[in-house]
């Protein structure tokens, strides 16, 4: 019966977005597809996953409520969406969001503007960055939320770097990986308190 419950809990995820993402995991050093680019021109990926003892909507809303990052996210410590974005429900495909982050490279801070590319609440979201494409290529950051039978959420997020010039920042991959793990742990602490 437990197995049936687990399968039923995952059913909405399986039916809601491209099935290619159902098998995404962070095991091994592999390149992962994204909605905009697939695997074409992919150079490398970073990925982190964590089980969060909170409902899928709480976890998904925490990621999509970018105005609140300053209260919990130590990697992306601030985000500035369009002025009309007040809550997670206001995030829409095509919007630009300015993200302030720290840790890539270690000890540094940076600012980047991403474009929202995919939102399917509460299961999946993605945004891409195309700034400095001539120098470092382009990337897409994906967020996968899977409801578990026990009411918790399996959160997985990954970023894939694309283009010939993405190799320029390949040496920063350990910093990217560490930052993604920090963000997943920060999200867990925050969502489990709600």
Do you know the residue count of the chain? 194
Question: What is the secondary structure of 79-133 as a DSSP string?
Answer: EE--TT--SGGG--TT-EEEEEEE-SSTT-EEEEEEEEEEEETTTEEEEEE-TTH
Structure tokens that stand for 77 in this block: 């410590």
**Domain extent for 79:** 2-193
* pLDDT by residue, tens only, the chain of 194 residues: 444 344 334 433 333 466 678 778 899 999 999 999 999 999 999 999 999 999 999 999 999 999 999 999 999 999 999 999 999 999 999 999 999 999 999 899 999 999 999 999 999 999 999 888 888 899 999 999 999 999 999 999 999 999 988 988 999 999 999 999 999 999 999 999 98
Helix (H) or strand (E) holding 70: none
Angle at 158 between CA 188 and CA 41, to 5 degrees: 175
* Cβ neighbour number for residue 17 with a 10 Å cutoff: 15
The domain that contains 130 carries what CATH number?
Answer: 3.30.530.20
pTM of the model: 0.89
CB 15 within 8 A of CB 38: no
Q: What is the C-alpha separation between 30 and 35, in angstroms, rounded?
A: 17
Structure tokens that stand for 14 in this block: 């399986």
Q: Who contacts 178 (Cβ-Cβ below 8 Å, separation ≥6)?
A: 103, 106
Number of domains, the chain: 1
């Amino acid at each position: 019966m437990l197995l049936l419950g687990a399968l039923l809990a995952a059913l909405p995820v399986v039916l809601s977005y491209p099935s290619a993402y159902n098998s995404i995991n962070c095991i091994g050093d592999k390149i992962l597809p994204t909605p905009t680019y697939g695997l074409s021109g992919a150079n490398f990926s970073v990925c982190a996953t964590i089980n969060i003892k909170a409902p899928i909507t709480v976890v998904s809303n925490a990621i999509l409520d970018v105005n609140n990052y300053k209260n919990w996210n130590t990697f992306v410590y601030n985000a500035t969406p369009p002025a009309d974005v007040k809550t997670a429900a206001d995030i829409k495909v095509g919007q630009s969001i300015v993200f302030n982050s720290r840790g890539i490279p270690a000890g540094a801070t940076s600012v980047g503007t991403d474009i929202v590319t995919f939102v399917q609440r509460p299961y999946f979201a993605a945004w891409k960055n195309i700034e400095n494409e001539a120098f470092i290529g382009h990337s897409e950051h994906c967020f996968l939320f899977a409801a578990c039978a026990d009411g918790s959420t399996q959160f997985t997020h990954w970023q894939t770097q694309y283009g010939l010039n993405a190799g320029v920042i390949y040496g920063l991959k350990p910093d990217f990986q560490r930052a993604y793990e920090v963000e997943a742990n920060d999200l867990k602490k925050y969502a489990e308190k709600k």
